[in-house]
Amino acid sequence: MDSLLYLLYLLAVIIGAVLGLLISYKNHKEAFVINKIDIISLIISIVGWTLLFNYSLIPIFSAITISIGLLLIALVFGMRPGYGRKETLIGIVVSVIIWIFSY
């Protein structure tokens, strides 16, 4: 059963990374020149990292919550080089703060 869950997690990361790269190439035609934070990517990152770190707070089967969190994280993490790094860092910080205050 554990190997099936690991396969589900791995598939979520691969699918999220591929989708993130495709979406990023569609939205950003140029190389990394924009130095601002994308609000949609920031929201996706915060939700993904919060689902991953705080899956015990949500009353859904934990494998589903973790898989959705990994998919959302990989969407932002798999963007074109340079894009999504600030959003990922902010998402990690916010989810760790939520985790600290929840315990």
Query: What's the pLDDT score for residue 69?
Result: 93
Strands (E), 1-103: none
Q: Against a cut of 0.85, is the pTM above it?
A: yes
* Residue-range definition of the domain harbouring residue 23: 2-30+37-102
pLDDT digits (tens, 9 = 90+) for 2-15: 788 899 999 999 99
Q: How far is CA 101 from CA 9, 71, 94, 97, in A?
A: 27, 25, 11, 6
Q: Return all residues near 57 (Cβ < 8 A) that are at least 6 apart.
A: 102
Number of domains in the chain: 1
pLDDT digits (tens, 9 = 90+) for 49-91: 999 988 888 888 888 999 999 999 999 988 887 788 888 999 9
Helical pair 39-53 and 62-77, crossing angle rounded to 10 deg = 150
Token pair of 6, please?
């690991």
